[in-house]
Structure 1
Amino acid sequence: MESLSRAGQEMSLAALKQHDPYITSIADLTGQVALYTFCPKANQWEKTDIEGTLFVYRRSASPYHGFTIVNRLNMHNLVEPVNKDLEFQLHEPFLLYRNASCQYTVSGFMTRMTVTG
């Protein structure tokens, strides 16, 4: 986990809980990611208007894990539950995933993360 002071951890957790009261703890984070989606027609990755801090968290209700990108560009954060429909591939420094809607997405420029529990 990137270094956050105790006060910083508590502030981040409180901010996340405003959007999801079932969040119990932050499992990991990275300070800067940018979100891209794959455009099949152009056969290329396109940058979205979402970039910021990525938080991986634990929840007290199902699904028991999730992640969010707290967007620095606008008020629209990315929120993804971690469930059986979510597929991941790590191609450092990129994390590719496909969600239940079969949308291929990549979060780029992230540091290595280890999620436990």
Structure 2
Amino acid sequence: MDRNIIDIAITATHVVLYEYNNTKQSSWEKKNVEGTLFVTKRSDAPRFKLLVLNRSSSENLDVPITASFQMQVKDPYLIFRDNPVSTDFIGIWFHDGKERDQIASYLEQVVSSLIKIEEMERTHPPPQSLVSEEDEDSARQDAGVALLSTLTLGSNDNAPAAYRVATGQELKPAVGDRALAEEPTTRVPLSTHQNLVLDKKSLQLSLLSLIQDERFLDLIHAQYLKVVHRRADRQQQENFARK
């Protein structure tokens, strides 16, 4: 469905879409869309998307998650609209209420982060660049991969999917609906991106994408603990030497 998907952040097993109808007794009407829901991470804008792979027809739900995305949980639905002036409301019914709450919590974190990034851009606009638009677009698309390729994350087997793509490793084959949502990504040689300089926005978006990944946080925390333990050992040795 989308060649720019680099990872699947969170999923829900089965959802059904409803649309709020203002003209017919202000009621919810079931749409012919139901299936597995995915919140995906992408290599370019929009950096996040909400997808529902429809098992009833070829009409899938494909919604970009931006700073203007609005939602609320109103049992039994997660209700959203993709811009503040829209009068169209979509309700997503979840087979599992816990999955609905997890999806809602994750989307709130993403939208909050995107809003902060937009505020930073308005407050500190980037300087005018002399680079051509084509070169700039190419650099932005590769920015996430370039950032990941310069990080030392320890064991590659436990690294986030985005990191394994950046370093040219094979992704494990996806199964079922997940395979359809996340099309195999072209392997990128590490040397291609080693000299790429990230602009501020690309760096922000790349870090935002990474910080949502629990596996990435686990790896960073493990490195942090190594540093703490080394400092403690060094301090202990210095104290022993003084004695």
**Bucket of the pairwise TM-score, normalised by the shorter protein:** 0.7 to 0.9
Number of aligned pairs? 99
Structure 1 residues without counterparts, runs of 5 or longer: 1-18
Shift of 1:90: 1.7
Shift of 1:67: 0.8
SS at match of 1:20: coil
Letter in 2 for 1:85: S
Q: Which has the higher strand share?
A: 1
Letter in 1 for 2:12: T
Deviations 1:53-77 (A, max 9, x none): 0001111101110110000101111
CA distance in 2, matches of 1:50, 1:86: 20
Match of 2:91 in 1: 106
Picking from 88, 112, 116, the partner of 2:71 is 88
Shift of 1:89: 0.6
CA distance in 2, matches of 1:50, 1:79: 11
**1:72 has 2:55 as partner:** yes
CA distance in 1, matches of 2:44, 2:75: 31
Picking from 34, 52, 72, the partner of 2:35 is 52
Match of 1:62 in 2: 45
Larger Rg: 2
Shift of 1:93: 3.9
Letter in 2 for 1:35: L
RMSD (CA atoms): 1.6
Shift of 1:92: 4.0
Q: Which has the higher helix share?
A: 2
Aligned sequence identity (%): 29
- After TM superposition, which residue ranges in structure 1, 4 or more long, deviate above 3 angstroms? none
